[in-house]
Structure 1
């Protein structure tokens, strides 16, 4: 799935479906295995990204969420992400000193890519098939669990982004992304 034109011939894309029923502890191995199984023609187009990401950590309760529209009282994106500079600064981009590889989007990436005219204009556009969720690389401060792009109801609140599960569940998992440049 196409996410954005990053300029200079670079394009961010993401796998349509999550690799489901996988444990967070195996997250990097899953990304590496998926990448190594790509056709070499695709691998040759992949641009380098940082070898590791400084994601920062933030709990759901620390953020305030805005609604998608006036009729929708669900939390869409946080409006105070800048209060957590490490989290807000974790924007994926080409890094010539890094390695060509698959990665997971950060919370800051998803926020930046969410909205009218962007990769994720609605809650459902962020989900994978079967209304499944997927892990982000940003983690919660208290639990260390990854943030997930989801659509879930807890009591009278509905979440589009939340701190999720460590354990494997068949309803979601890891969703690899790439930055490619077809002129390579």
Structure 2
């Protein structure tokens, strides 16, 4: 039932753009595998073999650290409405922090929601679809305001403190790019 492609077709791109949520999977050579759900209008298709997403401040920063070590990641999109389908994008990932020279090249592609922390750009080498017959139907009601409200209420100074405390190392003790930047400053 699975089909494999070298790049995203126009049909794949249309499917991805219609989804309200996606998942990002990453892992270091050892330790925990991480799967993160992502929402908001935070995903962009740059070409049939390149994508990017705006990563917002959260309780961890696993993907960012994993990419430094293994540089492999998977995106997954699932049809919760309409025709069943699961679509995975396999590729690498480049972390772009706001002070990175490449930031402006990508930041203009996104609405910079309060609490943004980095952009992940991925070169895709494999696209795989599968049936999705076991995925239930869900009706989209809208985005939750909680994360955006939380970031706005914290403000940039407290967000920076939060990132230092919660986003500098992974659950396995791997230092993230945010943690490395802090170490370089000290």
TM-score range, shorter chain: under 0.3
TM-score (norm 2): 0.24
Q: TM-score, normalised by structure 1?
A: 0.24
Which protein has the bigger helix share? Answer: 2
